[in-house]
Structure 1
Amino acid sequence: MLDVSIRRKLGGFALDIAFQAEERGVTALFGRSGSGKTSVINAIAGLSRPDEGHIRVGDAVFFDSARRIDVAVEKRRVGYVFQESRLFPHMTVRSNLEYGLRRVAAAERRIALGPVVELLGLGGLLDRRPRGLSGGETQRVALGRALLAQPRLLLMDEPMAALDAARKAEILPYIERLRDEMNIPIVLVSHAVDEVVRLATTMVLIADGRVVAAGPVGAVMGRLDLSALSGIQDAGAVLDLTVERHIDADGLSALAFDGGRLTVPRVARPVGGAVRLHIHARDVIVALSPPSGISVRNALPGRVVAVAESGPSSADVQIAVGGSFLIARITRAAVRDLDLAPGREVVALVKGVAFEPDLIAPGPRRVVDV
């Protein structure tokens, strides 16, 4: 368990953060710029000292003001990947990687150079110097160096903020592999919702130095107040599904979750594989009964949980489908005409699903009609 509860006064800004997350996977600290996200991971790393509180990673106590514990930076065994790679320009890629390895006694090395090179696709880069690398390649080397320092925890502060869309698409699959194949907890700072949706296990939403929501990504993204708190204008929900079957004749896949199933363009996952979908509020229609004679194929029975204004003429409707949530953005007139209120049984029609490029044909992230 990652357990953080810290308070610190930073001039006129007060940081008061408390959250817990499962040690395995990616914990995303998400929020507007200036909300305090980087201050949190700097405290975890030991680069800044909270006024009070505690920081624990599993059985290790990094900081505890009540017990007067404040472990030195070099003894916390934390890997840190910054926005800028901070590679040594005079060293080759191999030497940069080995620098991380040399900092750890041989008896404590559990992560070897070879597997990291393979994991991050660095084999063809080992003899090159940082100035000859692309932005995505540079960040992959920075990830490798951090891993070879044998960390018990990996911190990543906006590692893709300086990358263009193409380089970002290049590095995202490597971070996914790192999450799935290395037993190292990751704390990721990001203000990009697509990164959080794709990578995170737990989402911690921070605003004005405080945690306003924390939990599984789908639960936090399904909150109606997310856009007001985070600055996201394009509201939407996240569903975690399993591939139930592929329908080869039609080029489709059936995905199942506790709220039903969705039929979508075929995904590049085996039967039983996990798929995460980002369903935008604008792509959900609300009906009072199952429709007929329309092209939308996905109709999920649900129940209205909450309704909130989202603009001069629009409203967001939170709909429970099984143990998950969808959000529909419709007009306030439609809310009135359909008499939508908490407890009302409805049917959510999903007309579009956002896919990541590795799920379907290569290309940029896109929404496909279903």
Structure 2
Amino acid sequence: MTLSVSLRADRPVPLEVAFEVAPGELLALVGHSGSGKTTILRSIAGLWTPSSGQVRAGGTVWLDTGAGIDLAVHRRSIGFVFQSYALFPHMTALGNVLTAMATPDRAEAARLLDLVNLHGLADRKPAQLSGGQQQRVALARALARKPSVLLLDEPFSAVDRATRERLHAEIIALRSHLAMPVVLVTHDMNEAQLLADRMLVIQNGRLVREGTTAQVMADADALRAMGIREVAALLPAVIAGIEEDGLTRLDTATGPIFLPGVQGDPGTRLRVRIMAHEIILSRARPTGLSAQNILPARVTKLTQGDGPAVTVHLSVGEAELLARITRRAARDLALAPGDRVHAVLKAMSVARDHIAPASRHV
């Protein structure tokens, strides 16, 4: 079922947003602290009521202030993962999951713990689990409600970077089992880009940009709203194997690229986040360079922002790549929409946390 949201409020922050989330889609609400992201999530969950608005899950109305409808939290079919996890400290992992079930089912609770990679830890209490493991229990508990909508409120902010990377991969893998709309609140644009199908950039309670991850990350205004100076794009790829020099070969729509430290079996689909400033453009196919990653591309658009830089939008198969070059370089190359070029990427320029499994929407 599709989640439809339309909200207006004056307090605690001005709020004016409207959006939809399709079944199986992950939508990221991104913005600075105090921008209204969590207020939106709480409005969907029924934890806070706006001045006016509507929330619908499929054909079921959860909120319609004009009609006087405001269902209580327990009557809304949601799974909610809080930033603090909010686990019961005196209960085991299994006990925490069982509390969310209308009819407790130990076998089903154990299955959910296995689904989030907690096999063998059902009898441990939260204090005996790492932060990442506690987050997985909270996720299993949210799924135990068999929700129509899954809400994630900064679920990775309390864990270290290495754990966060593992959890990102697990969330994406888990999505193959989920058919409900998923709404993620985060202040981290990199996290949103790796996990989400679409982003909403929220500023002072209002929607300032909406689009796919590629569209938002290519929008200078949206990035400025988040205080981000750099742009990036996601390149879909498939692991082909390990080369003799230790680099992993990834096949893309227009050719192979070779990167270090990529984990996964041959055939695994990935999304590689490539920073725009790491791309070098050439009219002719370069020769005599140490760079092995040379992708044929077509220029679709040039965006000139403030300062000396130009963002070149490139079509690479069905994906969009972004290159950030100087105005002088763009002028010397005489670039125009429709031109064929070669995009060169240094293998060592892609960090490990810029690689994530592909979602089914990619």
Contact 2:79 2:151 in 1 (8 A): yes
Q: Deviations over 1:119-146 (max 9, x none)?
A: 1222333222222322111111111221
Is contact 1:203-1:215 (8 Å) kept?
yes
2:360 aligned residue: none
With over 3 angstroms needed to count, the CA separation of the structure-2 counterparts of 1:328 and 1:100, relative to structure 1, is: same
How far has the Cα of 1:304 moved from its partner?
Answer: 4.8
After superposition, the Cα gap between the structure-2 partners of 1:111 and 1:302, relative to the gap in structure 1 and judged at 3 Å, is farther
Instruction: After TM superposition, give the deviation of residue 37 of structure 1 in Å.
Output: 1.0
TM-superposed deviation, 1:281: 1.0
- CA shift digits 1:90-132 (9 cap, x unpaired): 222222221112xx147xx899212111112223332222223
- For residues 173 and 335 of structure 1, the distance between their equivalents in structure 2, rounded to whole angstroms, comes to 37
* 1:280 aligned residue: 275
Do structure 1's residue 128 and structure 2's residue 124 form an aligned pair?
yes
Deviates more, 1:338-347 or 1:45-54: 338-347
Q: If the length of structure 1 is used for normalisation, what is the TM-score?
A: 0.83
1:45 to partner: Cα distance: 0.4
Cα gap change, 1:349 to 1:304, in 2 (>3 Å) = farther
In structure 1, distance between residues paired with 2:270 and 2:278: 18
Secondary structure of the corresponding residue to residue 326 of structure 1: strand
Alignment partner, residue 59 of structure 1: 59
Residues 1:6 and 2:7 aligned together: yes
- Cα 1:246–1:92 change in 2 (3 A) is closer
Please list, as runs of the form range in 1=range in 2, the aligned pairs for 1:244-323 lying within 5 A after superposition.
245-246=240-241, 252-257=248-253, 260-265=254-259, 268-269=263-264, 273-297=268-292, 298-309=294-305, 312-323=307-318
Amino acid at match of 2:153: D
Match of 2:44 in 1: 44
In the other structure, the counterpart of 1:85 is 85
2: CA distance, partners of 1:358 / 1:319: 20
1:334 to 329, 332, 337: 329
Conserved? CA contact 1:26–1:199, under 8 Å: yes
Q: Residues 259-313 of structure 1, C-alpha deviation per residue, up to 9 Å, x if partnerless? A: x234224855556542211010121112233322222231322215122335x54
The answer as to whether partners of 2:87 and 2:126 remain within 8 angstroms in 1 is yes
Q: CA 1:46/1:309 → structure 2, altered by over 3 Å: closer, same or farther?
A: same
Deviation at 1:256, TM superposition (A): 2.6
- Cα separation, 2, equivalents of 1:346 and 1:163: 42
Query: Aligned with 1:114: secondary structure?
Result: helix
Residues 259 and 350, structure 2, Cα contact 8 Å, conserved in 1: no
Q: Distance in 2 between matches of 1:170 and 1:268?
A: 11
5+ residue gaps, structure 1: 361-370
Q: Which residue of 1 aligns with 2:343?
A: 348
Amino acid at match of 2:195: L
Q: CA distance change for structure 1 residues 85 and 221 in 2, over 3 Å: closer, same or farther? A: same
Pairing partner for 2:226 from 219, 225, 230: 230
Partner of residue 367, structure 1: none
Structure 1 residue matching 2:40: 3-state secondary structure: helix
Tell me, in whole angstroms, the C-alpha distance in 1 between the residues paired with 2:303 and 2:107: 50
What is the CA RMSD across the aligned residues, in angstroms?
2.9
Give 1:356 shift: 4.5
Aligned to 1:183: 179
Displacement, 1:242?
Answer: 4.3
Specify every segment of 5 or more residues in structure 2 that has no aligned partner in the other structure, as ranges.
Answer: 358-362
Give 3-state SS (helix, strand or coil) of 1:100's partner: coil
Asked whether the equivalents of residues 24 and 178 of structure 2 are also in contact (C-alpha less than 8 Å), the reply is no
Aligned mates of 1:359, 1:169 — CA distance in 2:
8
Return the alpha-carbon distance in structure 2 between the equivalents of residues 293 and 170 of structure 1: 38
In the aligned structure 2, how far is the partner of 1:167 from the partner of 1:65?
Answer: 41
The CA distance in 2 between the partners of 1:217 and 1:92, in whole Å, is 38
Secondary structure in 1 aligned to 2:270?
strand
The DSSP-based 3-state class of the residue aligned with 1:56 is strand
Secondary structure of the residue aligned to 1:197 is helix
CA contact under 8 A between 1:307 and 1:341: conserved in structure 2? Answer: no
8 Å Cα contact 2:94-2:110 kept in structure 1: no
Conserved in 2, the CA contact under 8 Å of 1:31 and 1:190? yes
Matching residue's letter, 2:99: Y
For 1:296 and 1:141, the matched residues in 2 are separated by: 44
**Deviation at 1:158?**
0.3
Q: Identity of counterpart residues, as a percentage? A: 36
Match of 1:187, as an amino acid?
V
The alignment's TM-score, normalised by the length of structure 2, stands at: 0.85
